[in-house]
Amino acid sequence: MSTAPTPQRPERAERAEGPVAVPDPALLRKVALSSLLGTVIEYYDFLLYGTMAAIAFGRLFFPGSDPTAGTIAAFGTLAAGYVARPVGGALFGHFGDRLGRKSMLVLTMALMGAASFLIGVLPTYESIGITAPVLLVLFRVVQGIAIGGEWAGATLMVVEHADARRRGLWSGVMQMGSPLGFLLSTLAVTATTLLPQDQFLAWGWRTPFLFSALLLGIGLYVRISITESPLFQQAARSRDTGTTPRIPLAEVLREPRTLVRACAVGIGPFALTALISTFMLTYATSVGYATSDVMTGLLFTAVTGLVGIPLFSALSDRVGRRAVVLGGAVGIMLLAAPVYALVDTESTALLILGMVLGQVVQSAMYAPLGPLLSEMFGTRVRYTGASLGYQLAALIGGGFTPMMAGSLLSASGGVSSTPLVAVAVLCGLVTALAIWRTAETRGRDLADDSVPRKKPEPSREHRDRPDGAAQKGAGK
């Protein structure tokens, strides 16, 4: 008598989403953790530069000018890193779509760690003259290229492994790397600013950059152990059919409106980050706050981001990406003036409250970007499209905002926050208009390479005819 074989309990790795199997929860947690750690390290290095540019680099690398001009020059090198980010997005996007997500993430981390370490050992202007700022700009450009490929790769590793119903939640875990990296860099800078001023300028500013070498070793160890995206593996198997574009960038540019919307949606959160973090050190100290007071405020904003980003990301799984982003964009348009009014009181408690309010609406705009931009592009060009959209937004919203804010503030005599309010409101309006014109992407099948579109309004003849059929010859 034969007996039927006992059916094996299916592995949790085999829950299917369309044609692609979703990995088991343990694997997904490992992928999310590796992306989180890698993003923490990348943003620690990148944001550390922004803080040092505000408090030290003007004197160390751009002497011989007045303090305001030196700060603007230091922010110019900050902008150079942002200019390099779209280049990195296109470069790593191309090879990420052709060769895989994982290998590009290992390379971006190695580049970022090396550039940060070299900044930490770079002689100042006093030692080697003009060569010092030139090398500083070069290393900053390398940082920009590296982080240009980091965000999309880390996001896609999580999003392309995750269940469609929880992409926001899991990408929120990864995107906590930005505030965690900022928190870590702020703590490092805060510790060094406790040194006497002469010691801080002599050697103290270098230690946070040198610390990145240790972080790099940890990050590479974790990142090398993860598995490649299953959606990319499926796309790679289809290459024999000729469906994979040789130049993903050219494919993205065939549908430029999608890329433009992806960029515009991100301008608001990046501009607000620049205003309430990088530039706040400059503005608040000009108002009369001590640097330590502003650094305390930055610690509170980092903690607020740690809470807000995963919450708003998870909320986008329930109510949609558009609603959450739009809420944040409207929020900053309404709160920009009150935020700066709180800062202008010269009360440390109210300064912190204003910065925290700004961070709440920033988190609402920023948190859904991971799943939103990933869902706007097909697998064959997703790395390129998401990278370029995100990094162009970073360039426009974050790269030039500190320089523009500094110039406007200087032109107004440095006594009014009105120009800063105007910048925040304008950038929030850009994001609001862009997300209003963007189709909802929540729950989209990522194996579908078509471009998400808003449903068109039915024509009048479609509305009038019961069968919805168009008349023959209509529109000819």
pLDDT tens digits, residue range 56-103? 887 888 776 556 656 666 666 667 777 888 899 999 988 888 888 888
CA distances from 407 to 283, 309, 355, 446 (A): 12, 31, 21, 43
pLDDT at 92: 92
- What does pLDDT average to over the chain? 82
- 125 or 74: which leads in pLDDT: 125
Helix (H) or strand (E) holding 390: helix 382-393
For residues 210 and 199, give the distance between their C-alpha atoms in angstroms, rounded to a whole number. Answer: 16
Range scoring the smallest mean pLDDT among 99-103, 267-271, 412-416? 412-416
Q: How confident is the model at residue 368 (pLDDT cuts 50, 70, 90)?
A: very high
Q: Read off φ and ψ for residue 468, nearest 5 degrees.
A: 65, 10
Helices (H) and strands (E) in the chain, counts: 22, 2
pLDDT at 216: 83
pLDDT mean over 233-238: 70
How far is C-alpha 357 from the geometric centre of its chain's CA atoms? 20
For residues 378 and 252, give the distance between their C-alpha atoms in angstroms, rounded to a whole number. Answer: 10
- 399 or 427: which leads in pLDDT: 427
- 2 or 321: which leads in pLDDT: 321
Handedness of CA 424, 430, 433, 437 (dihedral sign): negative
pLDDT at 10: 37
pTM (2 decimals)?
Answer: 0.78
Q: Is 404 helix (H, G, I), strand (E, B) or coil?
A: helix
Q: How confident is the model at residue 223 (pLDDT cuts 50, 70, 90)?
A: confident
pLDDT at 338: 95
Neighbours of 457 (CB within 10 A): 8
Q: Is 257 helix (H, G, I), strand (E, B) or coil?
A: helix
Q: Does the pLDDT at position 403 exceed 90?
A: no
pLDDT mean over 445-453: 64
Q: Does the pLDDT at position 463 exceed 70?
A: no
Neighbours of 433 (CB within 10 A): 15
CA distances from 23 to 11, 13, 94, 317 (A): 9, 4, 25, 19
For residues 252 and 437, give the distance between their C-alpha atoms in angstroms, rounded to a whole number. Answer: 18
Q: Does the pLDDT at position 246 exceed 90?
A: no
**Counting beta carbons within 10 angstroms of the beta carbon of residue 30, is it exposed (0 to 12), middle (13 to 18) or buried (19 or more)?**
middle
Q: Does the pLDDT at position 350 exceed 60?
A: yes
Count CA within 13 A, CB hemisphere, residue 100: 13
pLDDT at 242: 54
Q: Answer yes or no: are the C-beta atoms of 262 and 253 closer than 8 Å.
A: no
Given 1.20.1250.20, 1.10.260.40, 3.30.1280.10, 3.40.50.300, which CATH number is that of 19-231+248-443?
Answer: 1.20.1250.20
- The secondary structure of 239-274, three-state, reads HHHCCCCCCHHHHHHCCHHHHHHHHHHHHHHHHHHH
pLDDT at 448: 61
pLDDT at 239: 58
pLDDT at 25: 76
- Amino acid letter for position 282: T
Structural tokens at position 375: 């869902």
Among residues 207, 303, 343, 322, which one has the least CA distance to residue 261? 322
- 96 or 315: which leads in pLDDT: 315
The rounded percent of the chain whose pLDDT value lies above 70 is 83
Range scoring the smallest mean pLDDT among 21-30, 68-77, 313-322, 329-338? 68-77
Q: Does the pLDDT at position 29 exceed 60?
A: yes
Q: Answer yes or no: are the C-beta atoms of 273 and 396 closer than 8 Å.
A: no
Q: How confident is the model at residue 16 (pLDDT cuts 50, 70, 90)?
A: very low
Structural tokens at position 281: 């050190």
pLDDT at 349: 95
Among residues 215, 278, 244, 314, which one has the least CA distance to residue 77? 278
The rounded percent of the chain whose pLDDT value lies above 90 is 30
pLDDT mean over 33-47: 83
For residues 307 and 179, give the distance between their C-alpha atoms in angstroms, rounded to a whole number. Answer: 9
DSSP structure string for 34-100: HHHHHHHHHHHHHHHHHHHIIIIIHHHHS-SS-HHHHHHHHHHHHHHHHHHHHHHHHHHHHHHHHH-
